[in-house]
Amino acid sequence: MNNIFDFKRFGKYYISDLKHTFDYSALTILLTSLSGVIAYLFFGVMKLIVSGEWMSYGIAGRCITFVIAFYIIVFSVPAKCYGYFTDKRSGTFFTLIPASSLEKTISMIINVCILAPLSYILISLAADSLLCLLDPMAGNSIIYTVTSASGELHDALAMLNGQANFEIVTTGELITGYILNVINWILIFLVGSLYFKKNKVGKTFLVVILVSMVIGSLSTWILLPFANSGLIERLSNAENVQHAFTLFKFSTVSVAAIEIVGLMIWTYIRVRTVKH
């Protein structure tokens, strides 16, 4: 049997890990997914008690709640699913499971990067659509609003690109960038959950803030000479602006992809070398 990756062995392990992930995170994902509906009903009941009229916040408030709850999932689910990793008893049992480190790592990444956020999105949007169907005063659903907004965004970007005479950014590039950013955040908190024994989310946030401060200071120190070298004046040329935008988009996506690959490798190394 292949000690690195075996499809049959991985399938058996993944089913077991999926059941474990469901047991540990299903309630959290469900309650977070329904937080928009719960908040809507809460404010509606409060308004009904105070004024005798049923009224709650509209689509803007529900969209804000949807985004906030989504990032709660992003930050908390990795620790919720694999927080046991640093526990001496549970972590030792994890290392003894008959599956390779690569298989365990892939299973982790699938669960926290794909299944958890996708489950949240599907449940939350379904609950919001049902709410709008049952309560006409809720207004348009999030699905309808996002679909309409995406069309308007596409038209706005097309107009902007036309005025600039070159492609500044497209809807697909924005969506791709956002997805890469979300995966990046999830993997950061997955790595944090595999290292910190307590207060995993808070300590990971603290590390991210400190690292961001260091990188920001170094970036300023490195880029400041370029700002004083007449680079801004040279960018006033339209052709140079186009090249600058193209380089910026390419470098942004490349850095995000490198970070994701690096975090995946880091996760694998941690799983492979952990000792309790």
| Residue 100 backbone class (left: φ over 0; alpha: ψ -120 to 50; beta: rest) | beta
User: Which pLDDT belongs to residue 164?
Assistant: 66
- The set of residues, in sequence order, having a beta carbon less than 8 Å from that of 107 and lying 6+ positions away, is 10, 13, 14, 17, 18, 99
Q: Rounded to the nearest 5 degrees, what angle is found at the Cα of 158, between the Cα atoms of 157 and 160?
A: 60
Would you say residue 184 has pLDDT above 80? yes
Candidates 45, 81, 105, 64; CA nearest to 274 is 105
DSSP character at residue 93: H
Instruction: Give yes or no for a contact between 65 and 24, defined as CB atoms under 8 angstroms apart.
Output: no
User: Which pLDDT belongs to residue 1?
Assistant: 45
User: Which pLDDT belongs to residue 220?
Assistant: 74
Would you say residue 93 has pLDDT above 80? no
Instruction: Give yes or no for a contact between 234 and 240, defined as CB atoms under 8 angstroms apart.
Output: yes
Would you say residue 208 has pLDDT above 80? yes
For 178, other C-beta atoms within 10 Å of its C-beta total: 10
User: Which pLDDT belongs to residue 150?
Assistant: 81
Per-range mean pLDDT, top range of 26-30, 97-101, 122-126, 225-229 = 122-126
N residues, the chain = 276
User: Which pLDDT belongs to residue 225?
Assistant: 65
Element spanning 53, H or E = none
Name the residue type at position 121. Answer: I
- What confidence tens digit (pLDDT) does each residue in 119-157 have? 999 999 999 999 999 888 888 899 998 888 888 777 787
Instruction: Give yes or no for a contact between 47 and 127, defined as CB atoms under 8 angstroms apart.
Output: no
Question: Taking the complete model, does pTM exceed 0.75, yes or no?
Answer: yes
User: Which pLDDT belongs to residue 173?
Assistant: 84
pLDDT band at 101 (very low <50, low <70, confident <90, very high): very high
Report residue 11: phi and psi, to 5°.
-60, -45
Alpha-helical regions (H) of the chain: 7-33, 35-51, 59-82, 88-96, 101-110, 116-134, 142-164, 171-195, 200-227, 231-234, 238-273
Per-range mean pLDDT, top range of 47-56, 194-203, 259-268 = 259-268
User: Which pLDDT belongs to residue 17?
Assistant: 92
User: Which pLDDT belongs to residue 68?
Assistant: 94
Half-sphere exposure of 270 (CA within 13 A, CB side): 22
User: Which pLDDT belongs to residue 233?
Assistant: 53
- What confidence tens digit (pLDDT) does each residue in 221-253 have? 776 665 555 555 555 555 566 777 778 888 888
Measured in whole angstroms, the distance separating CA 216 from the mean position of its chain's CA atoms is 22
- What is the token pair recorded at 20? 């474990």
pLDDT band at 218 (very low <50, low <70, confident <90, very high): confident
- What is the token pair recorded at 113? 């990067």
For 260, other C-beta atoms within 10 Å of its C-beta total: 19
Percent of the chain at pLDDT > 70 equals 91
Lowest mean pLDDT among 35-39, 131-135, 160-164: 160-164
DSSP character at residue 115: I
Would you say residue 272 has pLDDT above 80? yes
User: Which pLDDT belongs to residue 251?
Assistant: 86
What's the rounded mean pLDDT across residues 251-262?
Answer: 92
236: helix, coil or strand? coil
Nearest-angstrom CA–CA distance, 86 and 92: 9
